[in-house]
Amino acid sequence: MMEYVVAAGLGYLVGSFPTAYLVVKQLTGQDIRTIGSGNVGATNVKRAAGFKPYLFVLLFDMCKGLVPVWFSTQLYPKAYFLHILVALATVIGHSKSIFLKFAGGKSAATGLGGMMGLAPVPALLLGVLAFTITKFTRFVSLGSITASLLAPVMLYLFGCPRPYVGYAAVAGLYVIFLHRANIQRLLKGTENRI
């Protein structure tokens, strides 16, 4: 039980690391929460600081999910519930960062990184799907929402352990919930394009 508590705590702290906030603060002196959409995520970094900082934050935020989950799978290979607990902790950490008074981003990149730690091939396909939808529609939110919806289906089709499929459903719904304002703007035709 102690391993679960420690692993979840560490996962949350790693997920909480406010990459976007720190990068924009360092490069521009501004608080990303007052720029563009106000979201503490990679897409808003692109608006605030450009492509290279955006790419750095995107990859770093993915690693916030990937690295803790990968370590949990290596240290405790059959402890599936520990793996998904760590993955979920990183997702919650990113969206409710202790370093930003429990505010944060929408956890799409961190969630995808965690999924890569659990099931690399399905996660990679989901990433390609999200990228493709974003590329053709220029709506990052639509790519993230679609990938989140299909995540449990994809893991199920690839024969992943049932706890992983359950995690994909829960985390996917959580990410969609965090995108609820984007969904309203998509329906109204007022969503921001990249």
Q: What is the mean pLDDT of residues 34-62?
A: 93
Residue 18, CA atoms < 13 Å, CB-side half-sphere: 19
> For the whole model, what pTM was predicted?
0.94
pLDDT of residue 180: 95
Q: What is the mean pLDDT of residues 44-54?
A: 94
| Closest C-alpha to 88, from 62, 60, 115, 67 | 115
How far is the CA of 25 from the CAs of 30, 42, 138, 167, in angstroms? 5, 14, 26, 33
Alpha-carbon distance 108 to 23, whole Å? 18
Q: Quote the mean pLDDT of the chain.
A: 95
Q: What is the pLDDT of residues 94-108, one digit of tens each?
A: 999 999 999 999 999
Q: What is the pLDDT of residues 131-177, one digit of tens each?
A: 999 999 999 999 999 999 999 999 999 999 999 999 999 999 999 99
Confidence of residue 2 (pLDDT cuts 50, 70, 90): confident
- For the cut 90, the answer to whether the pLDDT of residue 65 exceeds it is yes
- For the cut 90, the answer to whether the pLDDT of residue 36 exceeds it is no
